[in-house]
Amino acid sequence: SQELEQSPQSLIVQEGKNLTINCTSSKTLYGLYWYKQKYGEGLIFLMMLQKGGEEKSHEKITAKLDEKKQQSSLHITASQPSHAGIYLCGADYYSGNTPLVFGKGTRLSVIA
């Protein structure tokens, strides 16, 4: 079974609306990475969370890691067309000594 589940699989929002993407792990995380990908292109690093309860923000994107370190959410405020793409969460279970395990991604479309 998938260790890392992302939801929703896809999301269509109107420009200016807020949205949340969730990432749930079946086991405790050492760290959780968020990336954005334009279709067929490389992964752009957004942020990395390591401590339970940690929250980080970059421009209009905020990511949180729950206290148990098994769930993270990515929140976009006042979405814009530039936010469209695929959002991927990647789990580090062993302090950086193994490859990241990825969720299947959330495809976000922002319509005018």
Partner 1 sequence: EAQVTQNPRYLITVTGKKLTVTCSQNMNHEYMSWYRQDPGLGLRQIYYSMNVEVTDKGDVPEGYKVSRKEKRNFPLILESPSPNQTSLYFCASTGRAEAFFGQGTRLTVV
Instruction: State the nearest-atom distance from the C-beta of 99 to partner 1, in Å.
Output: 4
Closer residue to partner 1, CB minimum distance, 84 or 86: 86
CA distance 75 to 92: 21
The residues binding partner 1 (CB under 8 A) are 31, 33, 35, 40-43, 45, 48, 50, 88, 90, 92, 96-105
Instruction: State the nearest-atom distance from the C-beta of 17 to partner 1, in Å.
Output: 26
Instruction: State the nearest-atom distance from the C-beta of 15 to partner 1, in Å.
Output: 27
Closer residue to partner 1, CB minimum distance, 84 or 103: 103
CA distance 6 to 8: 6
Beta strands in 1-70 (DSSP E): 4-7, 10-14, 19-25, 31-37, 43-49, 55-58, 61-65
CA distance 37 to 70: 23
Closer residue to partner 1, CB minimum distance, 74 or 79: 74
